[in-house]
Amino acid sequence: DEFPLAIWQTGSGTQSNMNMNEALATRASELLGGVRGMERKVHPNDDVNKSQSSNDVFPTAMHVAALLALRKQLIPQLKTLTQTLNEKSRAFADI
């Protein structure tokens, strides 16, 4: 319900960035005692976005996601592969 956007967007994801700012501002305002639909206590652009460009936000988010995937998935699997290859190397050393 919070993201009534088309999945296909052009450019740097400005629509998604703005929508996320709106959703975060609404929720933050509620947590601060505000009522949904009334004047917000937290402004989407001034307080949440801090005037960041979506051209900066999206690439940074992608870099963070890639780093987390590397740390949690790829690197452990590469360590396992290295161990397995070392074991096989020792097992077949005399062949």
Please check whether residues 85 and 47 belong to one and the same domain.
no
- Return d(Cα 14, Cα 18) in angstroms, integer: 6
Could you list the residue range(s) of the whole structural domain that residue 93 is in? 54-95
User: CA 2: distance to chain centroid?
Assistant: 17
Per-residue pLDDT, 3: 76
- What does the pLDDT look like over 33-44, one tens digit per residue? 998 888 889 999
Question: Is residue 91 very low, low, confident or very high in pLDDT (cuts 50, 70, 90)?
Answer: very high
Rg (CA), the chain: 23
- Return d(Cα 55, Cα 17) in angstroms, integer: 10
- Return d(Cα 91, Cα 95) in angstroms, integer: 9
Q: Coil, strand, or helix at residue 52?
A: coil
Q: Which of 52, 68, 83 is the last residue of a domain?
A: 52
**Residue 6: φ, ψ to 5°:** -70, 145
Please check whether residues 19 and 44 belong to one and the same domain.
yes
Please check whether residues 40 and 58 belong to one and the same domain.
no
Number of domain units in the chain: 2
- What does the pLDDT look like over 3-20, one tens digit per residue? 777 777 777 788 888 899
**Could you tell me the pTM of the whole model?**
0.61
